[in-house]
């Protein structure tokens, strides 16, 4: 009953409202489908940059598994772009980006740990050297003159 009153007050009938809703839904679906039909060039560029950063950080040495995953997924994404499977390419590129970021962080952490270990060893070496230089030298054996020969 209230719906009829609203329709009467707005001057629009239910079929017009339903038609507008349907048109909005179709337009929204069309926009989403249009986005899925475009190559993920921006994501691919971001991913390539992340992979390059990870390599520069030492990812191939310190995070080989993650680097391999990032590189493999990037290659797969490039193949998907070639096959015009843009949504799959975008998903693979995003995964590759995050794998590369993990590899970069692991490499940075490993380098930091290595530097810490070297610094701790240096401190230990200095302590040992300091202890050696502060200890008094062992006294020399007293020289006893030889007894004269008769």
Q: What is the pLDDT of residues 33-52, one digit of tens each?
A: 444 589 999 999 999 999 99
Q: pLDDT at residue 8 above 70?
A: no
The whole-angstrom separation of Cα 92 and Cα 71 is: 11
Average pLDDT over residues 4-21: 51
Which pLDDT tens digit goes with each residue over 48-87?
A: 999 999 999 999 999 999 999 999 999 999 999 999 999 9
Give CA separation, 11 vs 15, 18, 21, 113, 130, in Å: 12, 14, 17, 73, 95
pLDDT at 42: 97
Per DSSP, 143 falls in state P
Domain at 37-124, CATH class: mainly alpha
**What does the domain layout of the chain look like in residue ranges?**
37-124
CB-CB contact of 7 with 13 (8 Å): yes
Q: How crowded is the C-beta side of 61, counted as CA atoms within 13 Å?
A: 8
Q: List, in order, residues 6 or more apart from 103 with CB less than 8 Å away.
A: 54, 57, 59, 62, 63, 66, 67, 70
Residue with the larger pLDDT of the pair 18 and 126: 126
CB-CB contact of 60 with 100 (8 Å): no
pLDDT at 149: 73
Q: List, in order, residues 6 or more apart from 99 with CB less than 8 Å away.
A: 66, 67, 69, 70, 73
Q: List, in order, residues 6 or more apart from 4 with CB less than 8 Å away.
A: none
């Amino acid at each position: 009953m209230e719906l009829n009153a609203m329709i009467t007050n707005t001057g629009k009938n239910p079929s017009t409202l339903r038609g507008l809703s349907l048109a909005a839904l179709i337009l929204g679906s069309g926009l989403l489908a249009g986005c899925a039909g475009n190559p993920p060039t921006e994501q691919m560029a971001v991913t390539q940059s992340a992979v390059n950063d990870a390599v520069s950080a030492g990812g191939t040495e310190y995070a080989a598994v993650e680097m391999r995953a990032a590189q493999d997924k990037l290659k797969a994404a490039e193949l998907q772009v070639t096959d015009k499977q843009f949504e799959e390419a975008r998903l693979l590129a995003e995964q590759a980006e995050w794998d590369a970021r993990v590899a970069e962080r692991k490499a940075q952490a490993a380098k930091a740990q290595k530097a810490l270990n070297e610094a701790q060893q240096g401190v230990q070496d200095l302590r040992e050297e300091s202890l050696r230089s502060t200890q008094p030298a062992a006294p020399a054996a007293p020289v006893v003159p030889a007894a004269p020969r008769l």
